[in-house]
Amino acid sequence: MIGIFSYIVFFATIASILAIAVLGLNLQWGNTGLFNGGVVAFFGAGAYGTLLLGGSPQPDHIAGFELFYPIALIGGMAIAGILAWVVGILTLKMRHDYLAISTFGVAVAFENLMRNAEWLGGGAKGLRGFERPFRESLGDGFLYNSVFLILVLFCLLATYWFLEYLVSSPFGRLLRAIREDENAARSLGKNPAQIRLTAFVCGSVIMGLAGGLYGTFYAFVSPQDVLPTLTFQIWAMLIVGGAGNNKGAVLGAFLIWAAWTFSGWALSRFAPIEAQLYTGSIQYVLIGLVIVTMLLWRPQGLFPERLVVSQSSLR
Amino acid sequence: MKKENGSFALKLCVAICLALFASNSVSQACTTKVGAVLPTSVDWGRPIAETAQFVVEQVNESGGVSGCKIEMILRDTQVDPKVGVDAAKALVDLDGVQLLLGAVSSGVSMPILTSVSVPSKVMQMSCCSSSTAFSKLAEDGKTKGLWYRTFATTGVQSAVGAKVAKDRGFKTVAILYKNDDWGQDLNRLITRDFGALGIKVTSAVAINDGQPSYKAEVTNALSGNPEALYLGLYPNEGTAAVREWLSLGGTQNMIMANSLKSEDFRENVGLQYLDNAFGTDTASPRVASADEFVKLYKNHFGKEPSGPGLANSYDATMIALLAMEAAGKGATGDQIASQVSRVTDPEGTPITADAAGFKAARTILAEGGNVMYQGATGNVRFDKNGDVSAPAVVWKFTDTGTKEIEYLSLTEVDEFIASMN
């Protein structure tokens, strides 16, 4: 039985980390209408940032400042935020698909930078030498994973509450106003460019938090962790869950990640031996089917956005 | 967690399998699960998994491990670390495996090792991960002796590549290398080795996967007008890059890493252009069991074992299962890992890499003796970091596959490497 619990804890940790990243994207796309096609760059910046700041010194690259873990994690988020600020200033003038393409380019550039800059992040070998906090007292096993899950859940809940508060505040209304009609918002004396940048940076910092936790959990990150697949996965989670709804974003993350992993588990268990070699390919088909079915059946997502005219009708 | 989590369908499946294998042995009343985490959704990953399955079939044919039938549960990594680690974790936690085979990419094997195998004390044996990061991790004592790989460290490959260039009298060489951990390591090592032999590297160009054209990279490599080209690439991008290289008038003097030992590469580039192309590999077909592997493989699959990592996958699976046999019934991962030296003991009784060899090993191990596994990549011997050094061959493409040009024994390889330092 302990094995099942151990796996569930593990699964919930990864799903929660991904859910945090989906919440960050929801702020950008769901609430502000910014098509960020480079989620993985900010996720990766958080992961690399945290491990670089919190890791032990390595001979062949600059890693290892051995900072106190919370500072390293916040540092990782800050690096993601700074990256988002620079990218935002350069690209947020663009709309929709143009923004998507340019941010996608940023993500590919980020991956290639990490793959090639051996002095920075260890190159393709990845970044090692990070000691997980409290590993000495908690060990490596189930206990550690459980405690880490509690930390991740705390971060997830904090992010969720923060975003719920944010979107129901006047600032949240402003985000939606910009999403729906930027000119109208401007005519009311608002500064859409600045608000868009704020939302973009804020969402990216949240993605950076997810990345930092992800890097901490594996105590390792390599360019293979920041491939465009992750951007796609996070988008699929948001769309299936329901863009514009934080509950949907979290649920979508759990659901898609469960489909992603459970399909592999089920196939390995129930497919006949001759078909085992092809389960990898079948799994891709199944994942695609789930997403397409969801889009056809419920394009607004499981939990569509609830638009309210005024705050009073919520209560 | 060695018990199954009792699902009816699984039990039914086991029952059917048992019925099928009942004729082989009376003692196979139980099943031991081992996990394999390999990129089966990738074209070159599938044959690696197929080879591992083939070994399991043979071991079961010989009577299984400790009287139990081996069931290899195969999971796809999608070459995505998240997916690979999740699969490994599920295998360890839900299926209770004590042995993980895989993964192929170092970027996937590494997080599996650090966050699944080591914390859960499960033995991990990779066929194909080549990153030098594993040796460093082992030196730091962080693999806890649970990590092994049958892929010889890149050092052997690069040394022999440099030797080929020296023997053929090339003075200038350009390098094209795959832009991943393996390629970067290889490039660093071979640049050093060429330098040690007084061969000038005119340019070293990284090749990224999946580009529609490599014209820019190839032009860059051509610019120094090198006498030869060193290729540290995989078949897909290797084919594309070499075609552009040749069409732009590059030399046909090529030196290839073992990753290009592929029929696809030979056919898509064209044998007529590969007459002066020499490959290097760490395989050592000097023992009967290595030829046996090729024969076995041909019999079973009807083609030459010419994809990357096949012989390594064969040996990885076989050695891991031998260690499992040596460790006895119900052994945990660290117990299995501690037995690897017993089955790859250079002083031990030589055994072949097939069902008969496994049977022979079982008797010897049961009597407390040690065996020397003679496998598809030669007499595999691990150092304290779980790495293998290996004899090397120089090979060339032929109509039907590859043929060996030169053989360097383990001592010759070691001496040559020492002579460069």
CB-based contact B55:B72 (threshold 8 Å): no
Q: In a 10 Å sphere around its CB, with 0-12 CB exposed, 13-18 middle and 19+ buried, how is residue A190 labelled?
A: middle
Model pLDDT for residues B13-64, shown as the tens digit of each residue = 444 444 444 444 444 468 899 999 999 888 888 889 999 999 999 999 998 8
Query: Span B269-297, mean pLDDT?
Result: 79
Query: Span A144-153, mean pLDDT?
Result: 94
Phi, psi for A294 (deg, rounded to 5): -60, -40
CB contacts of A123 in chain B (<8 Å) are 181, 184
Q: Does residue A242 fall inside a structural domain? A: no
CATH fold for the domain made of B154-281+391-420 = Rossmann fold (3.40.50)
What's the CA angle centered on A105, arms A102 and A108, to 5 degrees? Answer: 160
Query: Span A81-101, mean pLDDT?
Result: 87
Where do runs of H (alpha helix) occur along B6-130? 8-21, 45-61, 81-94, 106-112, 118-120
CB contacts of B82 in chain A (<8 Å) are 14, 225, 230
Considering only CB atoms, A277 lies closest to which of B46, B110, B114, namely: B46
Residues shown for chain A: 315
Q: Does residue A217 fall inside a structural domain? A: yes
Q: What per-residue confidence (pLDDT) applies to A250?
A: 96
Q: What per-residue confidence (pLDDT) applies to B416?
A: 84
The yes-or-no verdict on residue B361 having pLDDT over 80 is yes
Contact partners, residue A254, CB within 8 Å, separation at least 6: A15, A19
CB-based contact B207:B152 (threshold 8 Å): no
CB contacts of A265 in chain B (<8 Å) are 75, 87, 90, 94
CA nearest to B134 within chain A: A125
Going across the sheet that includes B228-232, the strands are: B200-207, B172-178, B228-232, B254-256, B277-281, B392-397, B402-408
Q: What per-residue confidence (pLDDT) applies to A311?
A: 55
The yes-or-no verdict on residue B184 having pLDDT over 60 is yes
* C-alpha–C-alpha distance, residues B222 and B413, integer Å: 31
Task: Identify the three-state secondary structure at position B369.
Answer: coil
Contact partners, residue B339, CB within 8 Å, separation at least 6: B323, B324, B326, B327, B331
B114 contacts A269? CB cut-off 8 A = no
Residue of B43, B82, B101, B187 best to disrupt the A interface, most CBs of A under 10 A: B82
What are A123's two structure tokens? 């190159």
A284 touches chain B (CB under 8 A): yes
A264 contacts B110? CB cut-off 8 A = no
CA nearest to B48 within chain A: A277
A218 touches chain B (CB under 8 A): yes
Q: Does the N-terminal peptide bond of residue B241 adopt cis geometry, omega within 30 degrees of 0? A: no
Model pLDDT for residues B381-397, shown as the tens digit of each residue = 888 888 887 788 888 88
CB-based contact A225:A233 (threshold 8 Å): no
* C-alpha–C-alpha distance, residues A99 and A34, integer Å: 8
A198 touches chain B (CB under 8 A): no
* C-alpha–C-alpha distance, residues A238 and B211, integer Å: 30
**B284: confidence class by pLDDT, cuts 50, 70, 90:** low
The yes-or-no verdict on residue B3 having pLDDT over 60 is no
CB contacts of B205 in chain A (<8 Å) are none
CB-based contact A4:B94 (threshold 8 Å): yes
B75 contacts A268? CB cut-off 8 A = yes
Q: What's the per-residue H, E or C state across B282-338?
A: CCCCCCHHHHHHHHHHHHHHCCCCCCCCHHHHHHHHHHHHHHHHHHCCCCCHHHHHH
Q: In a 10 Å sphere around its CB, with 0-12 CB exposed, 13-18 middle and 19+ buried, how is residue B213 labelled?
A: exposed
Model pLDDT for residues A173-183, shown as the tens digit of each residue = 999 999 988 88
Q: Does residue A54 fall inside a structural domain? A: yes
CA nearest to A217 within chain B: B115
Q: Does residue A211 fall inside a structural domain? A: yes
Angle in degrees, 0-180, between the axes of helices B154-167 and B181-196, rounded to the nearest 10: 40
Q: What per-residue confidence (pLDDT) applies to A241?
A: 92
CB contacts of A140 in chain B (<8 Å) are 118-119
B108 contacts A126? CB cut-off 8 A = no
Cβ count near A285 (within 10 Å): 10
Q: Does residue A170 fall inside a structural domain? A: yes
Q: What per-residue confidence (pLDDT) applies to B13?
A: 47
Residue reference for tokens 């998507």: A100
Q: What per-residue confidence (pLDDT) applies to B24?
A: 45
DSSP string, A155-181: HHHHHHHHHHHHHHSHHHHHHHHHHH-
* C-alpha–C-alpha distance, residues A209 and A43, integer Å: 7
Model pLDDT for residues A122-134, shown as the tens digit of each residue = 888 888 778 888 7
* C-alpha–C-alpha distance, residues A45 and A49, integer Å: 6
Q: What per-residue confidence (pLDDT) applies to A312?
A: 53
Looking at domain B8-152+288-379, does it have CATH number 3.40.50.2300? yes
Q: What per-residue confidence (pLDDT) applies to A310?
A: 56
CB contacts of B132 in chain A (<8 Å) are 125
Residue A192 half-sphere exposure, CB side, CA atoms within 13 Å? 20
* C-alpha–C-alpha distance, residues B295 and A229, integer Å: 40
**B176: confidence class by pLDDT, cuts 50, 70, 90:** very high
Contact partners, residue B338, CB within 8 Å, separation at least 6: B145, B327
Q: Does residue A301 fall inside a structural domain? A: no
Residues shown for chain B: 421
The yes-or-no verdict on residue B92 having pLDDT over 60 is yes
Considering only CB atoms, B75 lies closest to which of A225, A264, A281, namely: A264
**B313: confidence class by pLDDT, cuts 50, 70, 90:** very high
Residue reference for tokens 């044959």: B47
B111 contacts A280? CB cut-off 8 A = no
Kindly report, as residue ranges, where domains of CATH 3.40.50.2300 are found in chain B. Answer: 8-152+288-379, 154-281+391-420
Q: How many angstroms separate the CA of residue B31 from the nearest CA in chain A?
A: 14
User: The domain containing residue A22 runs over which residues?
Assistant: 2-227
* C-alpha–C-alpha distance, residues B60 and B358, integer Å: 10
Q: Does residue A175 fall inside a structural domain? A: yes
Higher pLDDT, residue A94 or A168: A168
